[in-house]
């Protein structure tokens, strides 16, 4: 770790010089890229410089302790060394975390795709509950959320709904939600009072730019059709809805929530780029699945990750064995505690891998 930290500090010093060079300042794009690189390592350098200072202070205090004869002064230096050692351990731990590999998509906006699974109409109603949960969470984090595409049912559920969330770090928080969410409750449609188990699947995709995923227009088939409402009823007599098929992969995206064909096309292309990236990431993950299983947020989409049990007011995340007895609060967007535990678990697994 020492050699790596020395290299990072040396690079930081180089960046300081480059960013003050008039020739670099004239090249705006290069200057911006160097500024981003410097910002990405500044916290590591700050921690490392403080750690080196603590090492020095411990050495000086130990020398004074060895030379001292006064009992009170010896006691003072012993306490100072103890405090400095505690700070040293904390700094070393923080640096190990800072050096862990970062997900390149953590700062991206996201698309959250929610689909009703087993359970018929009750599953569709549960999909609506998950949509509300994520929308409320976005509000709490001061993110911007909007429904990008939806296929509602007649009684207020969703066969499928896509929620777009914009905000710095949205993917870093939401990526752990991918998987099967299960609900256990008495449906409003149940007359006998029996508890039913239903499910919905959630897929969280980072939103990417053209430069991240290049799409060849020749690989696309674009169809137009009339938008429809719940139950298939016609709500639009113009051909404003768009269906895009990516021929090489067979991925299909449709969008009908906007009034204009152009707006629906733009949204559909945004979703398609994210799905293509997700496909590539999934393929890469599958290749290393046997040797690296630390990323709880990129697991198998068929994996049951969480159960929402209404009779017992209980939410259980099965990946980390976390159980909370505050179901109503969770469904109202209070999911930070779960997300923080998932992030901590991922970091702990990564530290194990690196021998930390």
Angle (CA) 286 107 260, round 5°: 95
Q: Could you tell me if 203 and 174 are in contact, meaning their C-beta atoms sit under 8 angstroms apart?
A: no
Q: Could you tell me if 161 and 114 are in contact, meaning their C-beta atoms sit under 8 angstroms apart?
A: yes
- pLDDT digit string (tens) for 79-130? 999 999 999 999 998 898 888 878 888 888 999 999 999 888 999 999 999 9
pLDDT tens for each residue of the chain, 356 residues long: 788 899 999 999 999 999 999 999 999 989 999 998 999 899 999 999 999 999 999 999 999 998 878 888 899 999 999 999 999 999 998 898 888 878 888 888 999 999 999 888 999 999 999 999 999 999 999 999 999 888 999 989 999 999 999 998 899 999 999 999 999 999 876 767 789 999 999 999 988 765 567 788 888 898 887 766 554 444 555 567 888 899 888 888 888 877 788 888 888 888 888 888 888 777 765 654 443 344 344 434 567 999 999 999 999 999 999 999 999 999 999 999 999 999 999 988 888 876 65
Query: Looking at residue 290, what is its pLDDT?
Result: 44
Every domain of the chain and the residues it spans: 2-98, 110-289+298-348
CATH class of 110-289+298-348: alpha beta
Q: How far apart are CA 82 and CA 76, in angstroms?
A: 10
Q: Could you tell me if 347 and 100 are in contact, meaning their C-beta atoms sit under 8 angstroms apart?
A: yes
Q: How far apart are CA 24 and CA 77, in angstroms?
A: 49
The SS3 of residue 183 is strand
Question: In sequence order, which residues have a C-beta less than 8 Å from that of residue 129 and are 6 or more positions away?
Answer: 183, 331
**Could you tell me which of 134, 121, 199, 120 has the C-alpha nearest to residue 162?**
134
Q: How far apart are CA 157 and CA 52, in angstroms?
A: 58
Q: How far apart are CA 227 and CA 219, in angstroms?
A: 24
Q: Could you tell me if 101 and 355 are in contact, meaning their C-beta atoms sit under 8 angstroms apart?
A: no
Question: Is this structure's pTM higher than 0.85?
Answer: no
User: Dihedral (C-alpha) 323, 328, 334, 336: value to the nearest 10 degrees?
Assistant: 10
């Amino acid at each position: 770790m020492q050699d790596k930290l020395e290299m990072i500090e040396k690079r930081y010093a180089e960046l300081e010089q480059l960013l003050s060079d008039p020739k670099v300042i004239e090249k705006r794009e290069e200057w911006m890229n160097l500024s981003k690189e410097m910002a990405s390592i500044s916290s590591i350098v700050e921690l490392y410089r403080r750690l080196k200072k603590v090492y020095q202070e411990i050495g000086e205090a130990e020398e004074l302790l060895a030379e001292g004869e006064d009992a009170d002064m010896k006691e003072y230096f012993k306490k100072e060394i103890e405090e400095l050692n505690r700070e040293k351990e904390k700094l070393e731990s923080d640096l190990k975390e800072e050096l862990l590999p970062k997900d390149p998509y953590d700062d991206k906006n996201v698309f959250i795709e929610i689909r009703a699974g087993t359970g018929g109409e009750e599953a569709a109603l549960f999909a609506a509950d998950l949509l509300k949960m994520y929308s409320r969470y976005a509000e709490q984090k001061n993110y911007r959320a909007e429904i990008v595409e939806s296929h509602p049912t007649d009684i207020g559920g969703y066969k499928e709904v896509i929620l777009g969330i914009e905000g710095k770090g949205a993917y870093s928080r939401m990526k752990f939600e991918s998987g099967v969410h299960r609900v256990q409750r008495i449906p409003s449609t149940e007359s006998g009072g029996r508890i039913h188990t239903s499910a919905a699947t959630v897929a969280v995709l980072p939103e990417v730019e053209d430069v991240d995923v290049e799409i060849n227009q020749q690989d696309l088939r674009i169809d137009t059709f009339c938008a429809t409402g719940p139950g298939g009823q016609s709500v639009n007599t113009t051909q404003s809805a768009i269906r895009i098929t990516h021929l090489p992969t067979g991925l299909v995206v449709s969008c009908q929530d906007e009034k204009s064909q152009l707006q629906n096309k733009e949204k559909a292309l945004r979703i398609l780029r994210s799905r293509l990236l997700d496909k590539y990431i999934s393929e890469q993950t599958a290749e290393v699945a046997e040797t690296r299983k630390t990323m709880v947020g990129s697991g198998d989409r068929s994996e049951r990750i969480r159960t929402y049990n209404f009779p017992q007011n209980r939410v259980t995340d099965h990946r980390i064995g976390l159980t909370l007895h505050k179901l109503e609060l969770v469904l109202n967007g209070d999911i930070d505690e779960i997300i923080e535990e998932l992030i901590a678990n991922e970091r702990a697994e990564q530290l194990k891998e690196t021998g930390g």
